[in-house]
Structure 1
Amino acid sequence: MFRERAKRVLLSSAKETTEKIKKVVDEGNYYGAQQMYKSFSARYTGAERYLDALNILQSGACLQLENGQVTCGAELAVLFVEALVKGKFPYDDDTVDRIRKIYKKFPRIPVPQHLDLADDDDMQRLQEALGAAKTRVDGCSSFLKAAIRWSIEFGAHRNGSPELHDMLAEYIYSESPEVDMTRVSYHFVRGKNPKKFASTLVNFMGKCYPGEDDLAIVRAVLMYLSLGNLRDANTLLDEVKKQVQSREVEFPRTELMQLINYLLQTLQRDALPLFNMLRQRYKSSIDKEPVFNEFLDEIAEKFYGVQRRNPMQGMFGDIFKMMAG
């Protein structure tokens, strides 16, 4: 007990500590500063001065990221979340705002375009840029996924903070050299900004391979519906239709799109027989992506109380969600 009290007394204020380490960063000694951030924050945490630890880690993460030290900044950002958990900080707007401030410091750097891939120097530039992009996405994802887990444990919705899901979806989409729309959609549907999601989908439609546009829209709508969220599913589709009119993007006219339009109307009423008829009528299109049937099973359970006949049926969807998350 006496030793713990002594620790609290001997440690200086977080402000003094951050100013001391900032001088090391300003000298360009990023590695030395990183060790100091980790060492001092561990001491404050050990002394149960969790708020001081948070202040040091937030300052360090932001400063390292501002200086392009993504790996260092991401590591401190994850430690910031670990301090939230150890200090049992509740999920609230103030803490989400602190997380957002760190998130905004993660660099956004476009991959070089119009390179001559036959040129060795250009090829090396491209490889370096792709490697740096992967580092940014992996670092930011680790940080925000940890923050989402914290939010679930300390007071957010059972799917985690919608704000954090939106941040992660936006960063993955903007910074990944090859976009995985399944991962992006997984987080957007757990967010609270279907209009932003619609803008992202329309942007994706303008540059995706032929035949991927309707799959991306249908997957997004089914994901919303599998969570029981009919309102945002409708908002998303309406927004996509509006936005393609103002851009040079063609709205897909396929059987899958017909299915989605009919499905959204059907789910507004007690019409299980019609729901089953739609599944049968569009079976060949639905089977293009096996997970669509899994989503439709979940939708039948959410909206009509249809119990799965085989408990193993949900296994594929669970694996899919783990991969997407």
Structure 2
Amino acid sequence: MASRSELGLERVKQKLEKCFESGDFYHTHQMYRTIYFRFKRQEKYAECKDIMFEGAERLLSKGELNSGADLAKLYLEVLSKGSIQADSEIMKKLAKLHSMMKPSSPERVDFTGECLQYSTVLGDLSDKKAFGHPNMHRLLALNYWAETNFRDAKYHFTRSLDGTSCALMLIEYHLSKGYKSEVDLFIAQTVLQYLCLNNQRTATVAFYVYTRWHPNVDGPPFVLPLLNFIWFLLLAVETRANLAIFTVLCERYKSFLARDPMYNVYLDKIGQLFFGKAVAPSERHPAGGLLGNMISQLMTELDEEVGLGVYSEDVD
């Protein structure tokens, strides 16, 4: 026999359905909140989470943005208070609710931060210093990309492990918003940011996908010096090259790295992470070994064949 509490909950659910079917979304919202507080008092978070997700999704789908966002927040509270693991399915549900919210609304901004906080605390993060699970960042990035909000998409992609999608987004971003002369800047900054976050693998994937599929890029080796620098840098990181090689690279491409003052900031961090210390580009050391010889030879060939000085930012 059902308890009085269970019978009362069933009556609330029946009333909720009638309100929703009749288009009375105000009282639908209130019924969902009643259910939330009943389960909360009993600490039945596992039973409550699916109902809160259902309510948020239904109201958002009807254009009830404030009420839907409120239930989405309660859904997150249930997940957090119940210490429910941030697995891939739950993160997909959070991303779905995120995609249904009005892009510029304060509710969505708050929800984004709360999703990342939840995935940080209850996700299977290996990097405990990170803010937000890489998969949560990836799903948010895909939402922003679909909205052609390339700036926010890039921010979240660089904190994900999806270098392929990041590169394809950057190609679309450059072709639709950038100047022809910026084709190398779009990927260079992203690769350096990935490396600063100690994400070598994703940096490499993003670089090779971008340079393979961008219609205005050929190589390697590349006509554009900055792309050659990034290529050599990734090789140096992958082969655990010594500090001397890194120093020579920075010195050799110093004039092209001056295009963005942030590059030296990134390279200082990359020097610490992968080459043992921060190094100023002006500090010269002999570069030896197989990689050093290969880089030296390629640099000479590039000087002879395409010239490091032929590229101008003023080209349209």
Determine if the TM-score, normalized by the shorter chain, exceeds 0.5.
yes
Query: Structure 1: how far apart are the matches of 2:12 and 2:263?
Result: 53
Q: Does 1:200 align with 2:200?
A: no
Counterpart contact for 2:73–2:111, Cα < 8 Å: yes
Amino acid across the alignment from 1:145? G
Q: For 1:219-234, what aligned pairs fall within 5 Å after superposition?
A: 219-234=189-204
Query: Structure 2: how far apart are the matches of 1:215 and 1:12?
Result: 63
1:191/1:264 Cα in 2 relative to 1: closer, same or farther (>3 Å)? same
* Partner in structure 1 of residue 266 of structure 2: 295
Amino acid across the alignment from 1:168? L
Listed one character per residue, the Cα deviations across residues 217-258 of structure 1 (whole Å, up to 9, x for unaligned) are 1121112111222222111111112222xxxx3128533222
Q: Does 1:217 align with 2:177?
A: no
Query: Structure 2: how far apart are the matches of 1:235 and 1:264?
Result: 10
Listed one character per residue, the Cα deviations across residues 170-195 of structure 1 (whole Å, up to 9, x for unaligned) are 1122225x531xx3233213223211
Q: Does 1:143 align with 2:111?
A: yes
Task: Classify the secondary structure of the residue corresponding to 1:134.
Answer: coil
Query: Structure 2: how far apart are the matches of 1:98 and 1:19?
Result: 26
Amino acid across the alignment from 1:153? V
* Partner in structure 2 of residue 250 of structure 1: 216
1:263/1:9 Cα in 2 relative to 1: closer, same or farther (>3 Å)? farther
Task: Classify the secondary structure of the residue corresponding to 2:159.
Answer: coil
| Corresponding residue to 2:70 among 50, 53, 75 | 75
| Corresponding residue to 1:264 among 211, 234, 241 | 234
Q: Does 1:179 align with 2:147?
A: no
Query: Structure 2: how far apart are the matches of 1:141 and 1:179?
Result: 16
1:24/1:257 Cα in 2 relative to 1: closer, same or farther (>3 Å)? same
- 1:66 Cα deviation from its structure 2 partner: 1.8
Structure 1: segments with no counterpart, 5+ residues: 1-7, 110-131, 310-325
1:108/1:32 Cα in 2 relative to 1: closer, same or farther (>3 Å)? closer
Q: How many residues end up aligned between the 2 structures? A: 268
Listed one character per residue, the Cα deviations across residues 137-174 of structure 1 (whole Å, up to 9, x for unaligned) are x6555334322211221242133322211111111222
Query: Structure 2: how far apart are the matches of 1:292 and 1:22?
Result: 57
Q: Give the TM-score normalised by structure 2.
A: 0.74
Amino acid across the alignment from 1:190? R
Q: Does 1:156 align with 2:156?
A: no
- 1:295 Cα deviation from its structure 2 partner: 1.9
What percent identity do the matched residue pairs reach?
27
Task: Classify the secondary structure of the residue corresponding to 1:288.
Answer: coil
- 1:105 Cα deviation from its structure 2 partner: 5.2
Q: Does 1:286 align with 2:257?
A: yes
1:65/1:206 Cα in 2 relative to 1: closer, same or farther (>3 Å)? same
* Partner in structure 2 of residue 124 of structure 1: none
Counterpart contact for 1:162–1:191, Cα < 8 Å: yes
Amino acid across the alignment from 1:103? A
Counterpart contact for 2:80–2:118, Cα < 8 Å: yes
Counterpart contact for 1:197–1:236, Cα < 8 Å: yes
Q: Give the TM-score normalised by structure 1.
A: 0.72
Q: Does 1:165 align with 2:133?
A: no
- 1:42 Cα deviation from its structure 2 partner: 2.5
* Partner in structure 2 of residue 117 of structure 1: none
Greater C-alpha Rg: 2
1:139/1:103 Cα in 2 relative to 1: closer, same or farther (>3 Å)? farther
Structure 2: segments with no counterpart, 5+ residues: 281-316
